[in-house]
Chains A and B, each alone.
Chain A
Amino acid sequence: MKFRTLLRHFRESFKNIGRNGWMTFASVSAVTVTLTLVGVFLVLMMNLNHIAGNVEKDVEVRAHIDNAANQNDIKAIGKKITEMDGIESVIFSPKDEELTNLIDDLGDNGEAFKPFEQDNPLRDVYIIKTKSPQDVIKVAKKIEGFDYIQSVKYGQGYVEKLFSFVNIARNIGIVLIVGLLFTAMFLISNTIKITIVARRKEIEIMRLVGATNTFIRWPFFLEGLWLGILGAIVPIGLIAVLYYNLYKYAQPQITFKFVELLPASPFIYQVSAILIVIGAVIGIWGSLMSVRKFLKV
Chain B
Amino acid sequence: MIEMIDVKKTYPNGVIAINGINVKIKPGEFVYVVGPSGAGKSTFIKMMYREEKPTSGNILVNGLSLPSIRNSKVPLFRRNIGMVFQDFKLLQTFTAYENVAFAMEVIEKEPEEIKKRVMEVLDLVGIKHKARMLPSELSGGEQQRVAIARSIVNDPKVVIADEPTGNLDPETSWEIMNIFEEINKRGTTLVMATHNRDIVNNIKRRVIAIESGKIVRDEHRGDYGYEI
CA distance A215 to B76 in the complex (A): 11
B27 to chain A minimum Cβ distance, whole angstroms, is 21
Interface string of A1-38 (1 = CB under 8 A from B): 11011001000000010011000000000000000000
Contact call B108/A212, Cβ cutoff below 8 A? no
Find the B residue at minimum CB distance from A204.
B89
Is the pair A205, B90 in contact by a Cβ cutoff of 8 Å? yes
List of B residues within 8 angstroms of A215 by Cβ: 75, 106
Residues of B within 8 A of A157 (CB): none
Residues in chain A near residue B89, CB distance under 8 A: 204-205, 208
Contact B79 A210 (CB under 8 A): yes
Which chain B residues lie closer than 8 Å to A5 at the CB level?
105, 108
> Which residue in chain B gives the minimum CB-CB distance to A214?
B72
B202 part of interface (Cβ distance < 8 Å): no
Number of B interface residues at 8 Å Cβ cutoff, please give it. 23
- For B107, the closest partner residue in chain A by CB is A210
Partner of B103, one of A4, A16, A209, A213: A209
Q: Could you tell me if B106 and A212 are in contact, using CB atoms closer than 8 angstroms?
A: yes
**Among A19, A201, A207, which residue has its beta carbon within 8 angstroms of that of B75?**
A207
Tell me the bound Cα distance from A4 to B113 in angstroms.
13
Q: Is A68 an interface residue (CB 8 A)?
A: no
Which A residue's beta carbon lies closest to that of B106? A211
A206: interface (CB < 8 Å): yes
Please name all residues of chain B whose beta carbon is closer than 8 Å to the beta carbon of A8 when the two chains form the complex. Answer: 105
Are A210 and B71 in contact (CB-based, < 8 A)? no
A297 part of interface (Cβ distance < 8 Å): yes
**B130 CB to nearest A CB, Å:** 19
CB pair B91–A205 under 8 Å, yes or no, is yes
Q: How far is the CB of B121 from chain A (nearest CB, A)?
A: 14
Within 8 Å by CB of A210, from B72, B75, B90, B111, lies B75
Given contacts A5-B108, A8-B105, contact A212 B90 (CB under 8 A): no
Question: B26 an interface residue at 8 Å Cβ cutoff?
Answer: no
Interface size on A, residues (CB 8 A): 23
Q: A205–B78 Cα gap in the complex (Å)?
A: 12
For residue A73, CB closer than 8 A to chain B, the reply is no
Whether A212 pairs with B93 at a CB distance below 8 angstroms is no
Those of B84-134 within 8 Å (CB) of chain A = 89-93, 102-103, 105-108, 111
Option from B71, B93, B102, B150 in Cβ contact (under 8 Å) with A16: B93
B74 within 8 A of A: yes
Does A138 make an interface contact (CB < 8 A)?
no
Asked if A296 is at the interface of the complex by the 8 Å CB criterion, the answer is yes
Is A20 a contact partner of B106 (Cβ separation < 8 A)?
A: no
Q: State A13–B107 Cα separation when bound (angstroms).
A: 18
Q: Is B4 an interface residue (CB 8 A)?
A: no
Nearest-Cβ distance from residue B218 to partner chain A, whole angstroms: 28
B183 within 8 A of A: no
A135 on the interface (CB 8 Å rule)?
no
What is the bound-complex CA distance between A8 and B111, given in angstroms? 10
Please determine whether B150 and A209 come into contact, CB atoms closer than 8 angstroms.
yes
Do A206 and B102 touch across chains, with their CB atoms under 8 A apart? yes
With A208-B89, A210-B79, A297-B72 already in contact, 8 other A-B pairs whose C-beta atoms are closer than 8 Å:
A5-B105, A206-B102, A207-B74, A209-B103, A210-B107, A212-B76, A213-B75, A296-B71
Q: Can you list 7 contacts pairing A with B, beta carbon distance less than 8 Å?
A: A1-B108, A205-B90, A205-B91, A209-B103, A210-B154, A212-B72, A213-B72
